[in-house]
């Protein structure tokens, strides 16, 4: 049996493929090695994996994860996965490669992630050939759920929110500005905390214009600081995975067109396409 996993900073989508090629899907939290340790991942997997999962019968784990672009971070995830899946060969890849394979297959082009975090690349049909560092959530990640959440929280703390939105925010979360600052700067996993507020932006109906402008400004920053710096970027279609790109795709399409690109594949999660890829490799 083999496992394929697509891991973001917030959530990991898993698929177990049995010897009979039956597919079983499940989820755990996300494991970005920039924010969590090997021990944390091990404990989380032991608590979060399905209780009926026959771990000892799994022979291969193919994990694509946020933060797994450099060797020292990959080793954190590799060690954790190997400690849990003791009889399996463990392969760790970057979530950006998963995104490119999911939206482009074996074709060259531009691929992006717009989820809790952001990433972008050019892909030659096999490997990533050009990547501009997203700088993660403190310095960058423009266009991401975290970035949108930070903009929203900034407006709330500074008093820039329209009154109706501010009232709805208070009714929903019961957080004072001081409590927001305390959580962001003293509690762990601030990126997830901030990203969680992108749902509020999506659900807000008391002032749709405010939410739309907030999202559009985030996507404009994403294009200005990342996408437009790729050589000849306008010759490619815009392809991305992630809940933020998928949920706000109407606003995204507007920004894509304004920057001289055309929309390509926009999908929420790459897991189905990754499963198809690995089934072809493992069961051919």
Q: What is the DSSP string of the chain?
A: -EEEEEE-SSEEEEEEE-TT--EEEEEEE---TTTS-HHHHHHHHHHHS-TT--GGG--EEEEEETTTTSHHHHHHHHHHHHHHSTTSEEEEEEHHHHHHHHHHTTS-EEEEEESSSEEEEEE-SSSEEE-----HHHH--TTSHHHHHHHHHHHHHHT-S-HHHHHHHHHHH---HHHHHHHHHHSS-HHHHHHTTHHHHHH--S-HHHHHHHHHHHHHHHHHHTGGGSTTGGGSEEEEESHHHHHTHHHHHHHHHHTT-EEEEEES-SHHHHHHHHHHHH--
Read off the pLDDT of residues 68-78 as tens digits, 9 standing for 90 and up: 988 999 999 99
Q: Which residue has the higher pLDDT, 281 or 95?
A: 95
Kindly give the pairing relationship between strand 2-7 and strand 118-123. unpaired
Read off the pLDDT of residues 262-281 as tens digits, 9 standing for 90 and up: 999 999 988 888 888 777 76
Q: What is the mean pLDDT of residues 88-98?
A: 92
Average per-residue pLDDT in the chain?
93
38 confidence band (pLDDT: 50, 70, 90): very high
Read off the pLDDT of residues 190-237 as tens digits, 9 standing for 90 and up: 988 999 999 999 999 899 999 999 999 999 999 999 999 999 999 999
Q: Which residue has the higher pLDDT, 284 or 35?
A: 35
Name the percent of the chain lying above pLDDT 90. Answer: 78
Name the percent of the chain lying above pLDDT 70. Answer: 99
**pLDDT of amino acid 106:** 83
14 confidence band (pLDDT: 50, 70, 90): very high
Residue 109 has pLDDT above 80, yes or no: yes
Read off the pLDDT of residues 153-191 as tens digits, 9 standing for 90 and up: 999 999 999 999 999 999 999 999 999 999 999 998 898
284 confidence band (pLDDT: 50, 70, 90): low
pTM: 0.80
For residue 152, give the nearest of 102, 203, 188 by alpha carbon: 203
């Amino acid at each position: 049996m083999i496992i394929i996993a697509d891991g973001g900073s917030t959530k990991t989508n898993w698929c177990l493929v049995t010897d009979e090629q039956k597919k079983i899907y499940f989820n755990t939290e996300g494991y970005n090695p920039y924010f969590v340790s090997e021990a944390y991942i091990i404990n989380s997997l032991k608590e979060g994996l399905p209780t009926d999962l026959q771990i000892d019968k799994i022979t291969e784990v193919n994990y694509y994860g946020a933060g797994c672009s450099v060797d020292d971070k990959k080793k954190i995830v590799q060690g954790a996965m190997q400690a849990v899946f003791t009889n399996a060969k463990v392969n760790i890849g970057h979530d950006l490669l998963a995104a490119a394979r999911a939206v482009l297959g074996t074709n060259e082009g531009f691929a992006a992630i717009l989820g809790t975090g952001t990433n972008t690349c050019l892909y030659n049909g096999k490997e990533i050939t050009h990547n501009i560092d997203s700088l993660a959530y403190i310095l960058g990640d423009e266009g991401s759920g975290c970035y949108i959440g930070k903009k929203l929280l900034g407006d709330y703390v500074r008093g820039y929110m329209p009154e109706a939105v501010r009232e709805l925010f208070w009714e929903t979360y019961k957080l004072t500005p001081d409590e927001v600052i305390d959580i962001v700067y003293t509690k762990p996993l601030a990126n997830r905390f901030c990203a969680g507020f992108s749902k509020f932006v999506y659900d807000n109906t008391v002032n749709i214009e405010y939410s739309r402008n907030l999202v559009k400004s985030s996507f404009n920053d994403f294009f200005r600081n990342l996408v437009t710096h790729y050589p000849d970027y306008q010759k490619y279609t815009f392809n991305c995975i992630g809940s933020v790109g998928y949920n706000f795709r109407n606003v995204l399409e507007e920004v894509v067109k304004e920057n001289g690109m055309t929309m390509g594949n926009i999908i929420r999660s790459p897991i189905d396409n990754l499963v198809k890829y690995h089934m072809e490799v493992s069961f051919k």
